Amino acid sequence: MTKNKKVVFAGATLLLMVWCTKGYWTSDGNGRERVRDRLSMAYNDDRGGAIPVNLSPEAQAAFEQRERIINALKLEISQLERGCPKKKLEKYSLLPKIYAITPTYKRPVQKAELTRLSHTLMLVPNLHWVIVEDAEKKSELVANLLARTGMPYTHLHAVTPATWKIKPKEAWYNKPRGVLQRNAALAWLRANVKPDEEGVVYFADDDNAYSLEVFDEMRYVKTVGVWPVGLVGGLMVERPKVNAEGKVVGWLTVWSPNRPFAIDMAGFAVNLKLFMSKPEGKFKNEVQKGYQESEFLRHFVTSLDEVEPRADNCTKVNVWHTRTENPPLREEIRLKKEAKPPSDLGIEV
Ligand SMILES: *[C@@H]1O[C@H](CO)[C@@H](O)[C@H](O)[C@H]1NC(C)=O
């Protein structure tokens, strides 16, 4: 960025502030277009994320200082947009868009989980929620829940064939989960996203716990961004190993650390343009246990060198692989045995 662009960028932030607080631009259509152009000009980074080579120490210091200012401004914009009315943001946000993909299926805790997740996602500016039910058809429960959020979303369904379903007494990790649902979401993205749209793709399962910071961290990822995930793999935290040069060099996990990407689904995001440029990148039912993430990511980056560590060089935890206990519904089972009506007759729980 040149000094001029920096000024434009700062100006854009100010304009956004005015626009958010005063509703200043709501009456003049041309004015809106002009602001939008200037905003997008300001945040489009023409360096493509590369650090210039062969800089003198002074130039290097100046470059780093500039990067810090830009990052601080980006963060400020995220925070400002968080307070903006959602409807306006859909059209005018200058933040790269986050496409969050959530596979879901019917179970007693489904509505509770989706309510919790939706109330997090509703706080994230410029996020489009793609939710895919593992079902023959879309349910009213999910449709109503989505409509109530007031956020941009896409509601899909894809049913898992019986051969790939987990049997009642079978361990959950025996079969891959969410493969067809995630792939349905990826196919939707490829059919509906403009190839040059700025943004990232993220897999947000409905049972995890998310800090808003994880969305700030992923938004500007240029290739594949990675970060720690708490409470996963039998550990307090699994995380990418980052060396003194700030490069990812491996994975701090105990279970199967030699996987190409020994990382949980919640621990990475893929740049949207990169995603759109590799149509073959998707999940497969026929992969070894624990290799889904590697199977997907190998299409987008060929070496760890290209991976971007986020969350302060992978030292901060902003997402947790929490698991919800199955509620003991023994009384419900007894009611059924005694041919009595269930407690939730006529009530959505
Ligand atoms: C990450 O590590 C590199 C190398 O030690 C350092 O230059 C950089 O400032 C660190 N970044 C953050 C956000 O801590």
Sketch the domain layout of the chain as residue ranges.
3-92, 97-320
Going by alpha carbons, the residue nearest to atom 2 of ligand 1 is 246
CB atoms within 10 A of CB 348: 9
What is the atom index within ligand 1 of the atom nearest the CA of 244? 5
Ligand 1 atom with least separation from CA of 313: 1
Average pLDDT score, the chain: 87
Helix (H/G/I), strand (E/B), else coil: 260: coil
- 134 labelled ligand-binding: yes
Q: Is the dihedral of CA 295, 299, 302, 305 positive or negative?
A: negative
Residue ranges of the chain with per-residue pLDDT less than 70: 1-52, 85-90, 171-175
Q: List active site positions.
A: 293
What is the per-residue burial (b if ≥16 Cβ within 10 Å, else e) of 47-67? eeeeeeeeeeeeeeeeeeeee
* pLDDT on residue 114: 98
pLDDT digits (tens, 9 = 90+) for 9-43: 666 666 665 555 444 344 344 444 544 444 454 44
**66 annotated as a binding-site residue:** no
Instruction: List the residue whose alpha carbon is closest to atom 6 of ligand 1.
Output: 246
Which residues approach ligand 1 with their CB closer than 6 A? Answer: 244-246, 312-313
Q: What DSSP state is assigned to residue 142?
A: H
Residue 77, pLDDT score: 85
Q: What is the pLDDT of residue 54?
A: 80
Q: Is 104 assigned a ligand-binding role in the annotation? A: yes
Residue identifier of the C-alpha nearest atom 9 of ligand 1? 246
CA distance 155 to 34: 33
- Per the listing, tokens 């190993």 go with 241
Architecture of domain 97-320: Alpha-Beta Complex (3.90)
